[in-house]
Amino acid sequence: MKQNSLFSLFLLFVLFFILPTQFARAANGDLQELISLALTHNPRMEIARQQINQARGQLTTSQAGYLPRVSTGAGSTYTHIQDLVPEDEDTVINVNINGTQLLYDFGKTRGRIDSVRHNLDAAGFNLKQTGHAIVFQVKQAYYSLLEKIHLISVAEQSVATYQRHLYRAQKYFEAGVRTRIDITNAELELANARLDLLRARSNAQIARTKLEQVTGISLKGQKDIPKTAVLPLTDMIKTLPELSPPLESLLKTARKKRPELQQVTQQLKAAGAVIKQIKAEYWPTLSATASYEDYETDLQSFHDQWRIGAGLTWEIFSGFETEGKLAEARSKMLEINGRKNELELAVTQDVTDTFLRAREHRDGIKIADMAVKLAEKNLDLAEGRYKAGLGDMIEFNDAQLSLTRSQSDLIGTYFSYLTALAGIERATGTTPEPALELKKILK
């Protein structure tokens, strides 16, 4: 007797503590694997990476303005000189090397480099934002798939219950206790439950396809995703993640870490650098030049020579082209500043909405869990009344329908809460960086 009690305690410990924890760990392993696949194969990540590479190329191009430009050339000409006595002629072969070096341009090149560098930083934050969005979409699709799988379990339980009830109704009819209408009613409810099960399985397949679309790769070779078993949600709730910090703290974090805000800040700095670059066009450009020419010929009039010097170019009037470009650049900067203000308001709304939605689902889980327990008790009572001949089929069907609805609500609220937590990470820009591997990409 004592051994049976110890075994029962051990079983309860496994059921209520070990299995939910293992479920959470297995689910997290699935999720990290899918996130890694999405960040590798999702086309939007590749687009964002190539935009960074383009910005790097533009930076290299702009930095070339500080480096010397060297060119060389060679030629061969047949030369005949008539003024000499006797006349002279020969084939002249010449080789030349020319070089120019920018000395000072009042900030034109510096402004161009600063603008491109800020655009490169903006492209990096765009990649980061894209990664955050993809991680959220993977989590959203994954939780949706888990929800549909759990709804299959609910539908299967409903089918099993109606099958048992149909069997009971048939036995009662054969014993003369119940009428045939109970059998017909049970058959109807069983058919509806099977239809719901069919829909639930179809919805799970659709959710899996959506997960594949977000991941950017077919998961046909990974049919065991998700690897987790379906456990009672009342057990899973014991490992429910806590709600994030207060709303004000989240808003403060979002203003600092939201990639879109950091991106538009860099775009604003780039626009300011462009204005400096254009203003520098009002001033001259000072450059140094050097050249060397070597001649291979017997003609006395051709000698090797070299030159070195400095030159100043100043465009005094450009037909108001500089004024036009400056007006355009200033308007562009004001436009970006307006977008930044608009984005700040959108981020505030986004964080607020996701936080309030998460809190709603968190509180809703407790209510839905209580509703499931009450619905289970109500079904037990209805089934007992039916067995005792005190209740009818309608009462039992209503109780079973209420239980199915309550279980579905609990499942939906539970996974909506997990999705809302992922939404808070995305809205505040706190999606875990190790999952994104952005440091490796941005090197």
For residues 435 and 231, give the distance between their C-alpha atoms in angstroms, rounded to a whole number. Answer: 27
Q: Tell me the pLDDT tens digit for each residue of 235-249.
A: 767 778 888 789 999
**Contact (CB, 8 A) for 124 and 52:** yes
pLDDT (0 to 100) of residue 345: 96
Q: In the predicted model, what is the mean pLDDT of residues 33-56?
A: 89
Mention the CATH class of domain 17-69+106-283+320-442. Answer: mainly alpha
Confidence check: pLDDT of 273 > 90: yes
Q: How would you list the strands of the sheet with 69-81, edge to edge?
A: 69-81, 88-104, 285-296, 305-313
**What is the arithmetic mean of pLDDT over 158-166?**
86
Residue 282 has pLDDT above 80, yes or no: yes
- The whole-number pLDDT of residue 90 equals 73
- Across all residues in the chain, what is the average pLDDT? 83
242-246, 340-344, 358-362: lowest mean pLDDT where?
242-246
Q: 424-441, pLDDT tens digit by residue?
A: 999 999 988 644 454 454
The answer to whether residue 97 scores a pLDDT higher than 70 is yes
Of the listed ranges 120-129, 200-209, 211-220, 348-357, the one predicted with least confidence: 211-220
| pLDDT confidence tier of residue 221, bands split at 50, 70 and 90 | low
% the chain with pLDDT above 70? 85
Query: In residues, how long is the chain?
Result: 443
Global pTM exceeds 0.85: no
Contact 184, 169 (CB under 8 A): no
Residue 230: pLDDT band (50, 70, 90) is low
Q: Is the pLDDT of residue 56 over 90?
A: yes
Provide the pLDDT for residue 234.
66
d(CA 11, CA 165): 30
Contact at 8 Å (CB) between 144 and 210? Answer: yes
Return the bridge partners of 290, or none.
99, 308
- pLDDT > 60? residue 124: yes
Query: Is residue 154 pLDDT above 80, yes or no?
Result: yes
CA-nearest of 400, 384, 1 to 161 is 400
Question: Is the pLDDT score of 377 beyond 80?
Answer: yes
Q: What percent of the chain has pLDDT over 90?
A: 44
Q: Which residues pair with 72 in a beta bridge?
A: 97
Q: Span 57-86, mean pLDDT?
A: 84
**Where residue 62 falls among pLDDT bands split at 50, 70, 90?**
very high
Strand residues in 285-329 grouped as ranges (E) = 285-296, 305-313
| Those residues with Cβ within 8 angstroms of residue 269's Cβ, 6 or more apart along the chain or in another chain | 114, 118
CB atoms within 10 A of CB 400: 22
The kind and range of the H/E element at 245 are none
Tens digits of residue pLDDT in 251-265:
999 999 999 999 999
Is residue 219 very low, low, confident or very high in pLDDT (cuts 50, 70, 90)? low
The pair phi, psi for residue 307, each rounded to 5°, is -135, 150
Contacts of 333 (CB under 8 A, 6+ apart): 268, 271, 272, 274, 275
Higher pLDDT, 191 or 295: 191
Give Cβ neighbours of residue 178 (< 8 Å, ≥ 6 apart): 169, 172
CA distance 339 to 333: 10
Q: Which amino acid belongs to residue 328? A: E
